[in-house]
């Protein structure tokens, strides 16, 4: 999973979403305005106003784009290394510490809090969790078929992992991080206990 999801926007629409992402990442949701997004946009800011009526419309489209991008990336090829796929996903979730990744995670945590009272954000994050669970379910099923993982309920394990990672990124973004390695080690133990088929 790339730490810079808008490294190479392909058209005006993606450039607007990239500007939204940068403004949101740097300013936070409360300070985000369409004007601020226009300042990040390389073309005329009037294009932003022409296409969007509110910052939430832009933010939700940006989130949808990021989720669709993730889906395209993980379904673009068959799962030939389920153990590696799972390790990469968990590593990004609890141990990735690049500045871009930290900023991205903080942004997601802030936006996820809006889902408490905003149905549109709730719908998005419900869907995103379902996408991640479906992906990990596919990975675990592939691992069972290949003999890398032991028999289990793949969806149940996948949902447990996604729920744990969701909690971890909230804590990661809002507290000191002296707990992180201990939690990561416990997560590794859970995965080994539930999935590892090696003797």
Q: Is residue 41 part of a domain?
A: yes
Q: Which regions of the chain does DSSP assign to beta strands (E)?
A: none
Q: Are residues 113 and 69 in the same domain?
A: no
Under 8 Å between Cβ of 24 and 40: no
Rounded CA-CA distance 24/107 in Å is 7
Residues 67 and 85 in one domain: no
The b/e string for 9-33 (b: 16+ C-beta within 10 A; e otherwise) is: beeeeebbbbbbbbbbbeeeeeebe
pTM for the model stands at 0.89
pLDDT by residue, tens only, the chain of 199 residues: 455 677 777 788 889 999 999 999 999 999 999 888 888 887 776 778 777 888 999 999 999 999 999 999 888 778 889 999 999 999 888 876 777 788 889 999 999 999 999 999 999 999 999 999 999 999 999 999 999 999 999 999 999 999 999 999 999 889 888 888 899 999 999 999 999 876 5
Predicted pLDDT at 162: 97
pLDDT at site 53: 82
**What is the reported pLDDT for 10?**
75
Assess whether 68 and 83 both reside in one domain: no
184 and 127 within one domain: yes
Q: What is the pLDDT of residue 52?
A: 83
Domain shared by 145 and 198, yes or no? yes
Are 168 and 93 contacting, i.e. CB atoms less than 8 angstroms apart?
Answer: yes
- Distance CA(106)–CA(26), nearest Å, equals 10
Percent of the chain topping pLDDT 70: 94
The span from the CA of 9 to the CA of 16, in Å, is 9
Euclidean distance between CA atoms 100 and 60, whole angstroms: 20
pLDDT for res 154: 98
d(CA 82, CA 143): 5
Residue 1 included in any domain: no
**Quick one: tokens of 3?**
């730490």
- Tell me what pLDDT residue 193 has: 94
Domain co-membership, 16 together with 46? yes
Let me know whether 159 and 68 are in one domain: no
**160 belongs to a structural domain:** yes
* 4 assigned to some structural domain: no
Burial class of residue 39 in the structure, from the number of CB atoms within 10 Å of its CB (0-12 exposed, 13-18 middle, 19+ buried):
middle
The answer on 177 and 164 residing in a single domain is yes
Number of compact structural domains in the chain: 2
Query: For residue 119, what are the domain limits?
Result: 78-199
pLDDT value, residue 4: 66
In this structure, the answer to whether residues 121 and 165 fall within a common structural domain is yes
pLDDT for the residue numbered 186: 94
**Best CA proximity match to 14, nearest among 53, 54, 56, 51:** 51
């Amino acid at each position: 999973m790339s730490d810079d999801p808008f490294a190479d926007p392909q058209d005006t629409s993606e450039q607007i979403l990239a500007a939204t992402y940068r403004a949101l990442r740097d300013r936070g949701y409360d300070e985000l305005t369409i004007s601020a997004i226009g300042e990040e946009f390389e073309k005329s800011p009037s294009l932003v106003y022409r296409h969007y009526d509110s910052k939430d419309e832009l933010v939700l489209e940006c989130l949808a784009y990021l989720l669709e991008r993730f889906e395209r990336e993980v379904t673009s090829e068959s799962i030939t290394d389920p153990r590696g796929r799972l390790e990469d996903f968990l590593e990004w979730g609890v141990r990735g510490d690049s500045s871009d990744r930290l900023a991205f995670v903080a942004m997601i945590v802030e936006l996820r809090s809006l889902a408490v009272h905003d149905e549109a954000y709730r719908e998005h994050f419900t869907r995103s969790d379902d996408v991640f669970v479906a992906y990990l379910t596919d990975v675990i099923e592939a691992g069972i078929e290949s003999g890398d993982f032991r028999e289990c309920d793949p969806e149940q394990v996948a949902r447990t992992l996604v729920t744990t990672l969701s909690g971890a990124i909230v804590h990661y973004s809002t507290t000191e991080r002296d707990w992180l390695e201990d939690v990561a080690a416990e997560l590794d133990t859970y995965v080994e206990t539930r999935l590892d088929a090696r003797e």
